[in-house]
Amino acid sequence: MPHPAIRVGVLLYDDCLASEALGLVDVLAIANRVALHTGQPEPFRTSIHAARPGPVRAANGVEIRARRVDFALDLLVVPGFDLDPGQDLDLRLRRRSAEVKLLQRVAVRGIPVATVCVGAFLLGAAGLLDGRRATTSWLFADELTVRHPSSTIDPRAMLVEDGPVTTTGAFSASVDLALHLVRLHAGESIVRATSNITLTKQGRSSQSPYVDDTLHQRVSRDFSTEVRRHLVQHIGERYDLPALAASHHISTRTLLRRFRDETGQTPLDFLQSARVARARQLLEGTDLSVTEIARSVGYADTSTFRRLFTGAVSMTPSHYRRTFGR
């Protein structure tokens, strides 16, 4: 006897990212067609919902009509919203109080939930991340960690499933979530065919290859900005903490304390991140050998460079070049 279709609802709200919601729905629709073509019943039944029925204006200005959640769902998916690091997130979340209350009711009824990108902040506001492992866009993972200290936030993971709560990375992770659902509920042959048809990649497990530490640095005051600028300008030189402190006319102890107070890290931590970022650019856009790249970013020992690069990006330099090179 065939299993009944999995009922997947997507929660829309004003300023949400429509592609994160509708992209998932489209992938599941294609998986349904693949299943029918192979003589199997459609594995999914999808629907569009809102806390209040009627038109929802997405972040791109497009209006989409949605119906009220009827709670007859096997999964509710929450897309992310348009968020700039400089915006008042507390105000944004207060404006989503109806969605937060809805998510609390969904959890009480035992309906599993999943999020894409910064939709995790809505789950957090509803208390659904407490004591759980989760992820979100790498750019906003620190903020999620600060807001929910009882949660374990993994900024590198593409998808984290903890009981009835699934969270994913940024934007295109909606496709990773969709393929994950296809694999769970339709099997390997269906997910393979769906992936091939849609030209999407299965099994992405890490956001690390996409992290840009130059964007990730939190806003800081002038002192740490000057230190970071100096380190980047001398990125290929040996790290010399006493010389760095002397160039700013302070002791090494004071430099370390002030830099950590402003950035939450040491100058060496920042320098290693900046070196990895520069190496990624060179691997993507040049034909320099790994050894040449290692030397250009300050590592005379290529094996040390490979170890640090792999630890930061979850790929060896050669694998990274094969995946992202021109």
With a cut of 70, say whether residue 220 has pLDDT above it.
no
Domains contained in the chain, number: 2
Residue-wise pLDDT tens digits, 142-174: 888 878 878 999 999 999 999 999 999 999 999
- Three-class SS state of 75: strand
CA 100 from chain centre, in angstroms, equals 21
Residue-wise pLDDT tens digits, 125-143: 999 998 899 999 998 888 8
Residues 91 and 156 in one domain: yes
**1 within a domain of the structure (yes/no):** no
Residues 41 and 157 in one domain: yes
Residues 223 and 286 in one domain: yes
CATH number, domain at 250? Answer: 1.10.10.60
Residues 297 and 157 in one domain: no
Residue-wise pLDDT tens digits, 96-108: 999 999 999 999 9
CA 117 from chain centre, in angstroms, equals 6
pTM for the predicted model, two decimal places: 0.73
| CA atoms lying within 13 Å on the CB side of residue 219 | 6
Predicted local confidence at residue 311, as pLDDT: 93
Residues 201 and 224 in one domain: no
- Residue 217: exposed, middle, or buried by beta-carbon count in 10 A (0-12, 13-18, 19+)? middle
Residue-wise pLDDT tens digits, 20-49: 999 999 999 999 999 999 999 999 999 999
Residues 178 and 230 in one domain: no
Q: What is the DSSP letter of 159?
A: E
Predicted local confidence at residue 229, as pLDDT: 81
Residue-wise pLDDT tens digits, 60-78: 999 999 999 989 999 999 9
Residue where a domain stops, chosen among 151, 177, 210: 210
Predicted local confidence at residue 219, as pLDDT: 39
Residues 130 and 176 in one domain: yes
Instruction: Note down the domain range covering 317.
Output: 217-324
Q: Is residue 86 very low, low, confident or very high in pLDDT (cuts 50, 70, 90)?
A: low
**Average model confidence (pLDDT) across the chain:** 91
Residues 168 and 293 in one domain: no
- Report helix, strand and coil shares of the chain as percent, to nearest 5: 50, 15, 35
**294 within a domain of the structure (yes/no):** yes
Residues 225 and 132 in one domain: no
**255 within a domain of the structure (yes/no):** yes
Residue where a domain stops, chosen among 186, 210, 234: 210
Predicted local confidence at residue 293, as pLDDT: 96
| CA atoms lying within 13 Å on the CB side of residue 320 | 28
CATH number, domain at 102? Answer: 3.40.50.880
Residue where a domain stops, chosen among 210, 231, 261: 210
Residue-wise pLDDT tens digits, 268-309: 998 998 899 889 889 988 999 999 999 999 999 999 999 999
Predicted local confidence at residue 148, as pLDDT: 84
**59 within a domain of the structure (yes/no):** yes
Residues 169 and 22 in one domain: yes
Residue-wise pLDDT tens digits, 179-217: 999 999 999 999 999 999 999 998 899 998 988 876 765
As a whole number of angstroms, the distance between CA 134 and CA 136 comes to: 7
The token duo for 191 is 């997910």
Lowest mean pLDDT among 86-95, 109-118, 247-256: 86-95
Predicted local confidence at residue 221, as pLDDT: 47
**43 within a domain of the structure (yes/no):** yes
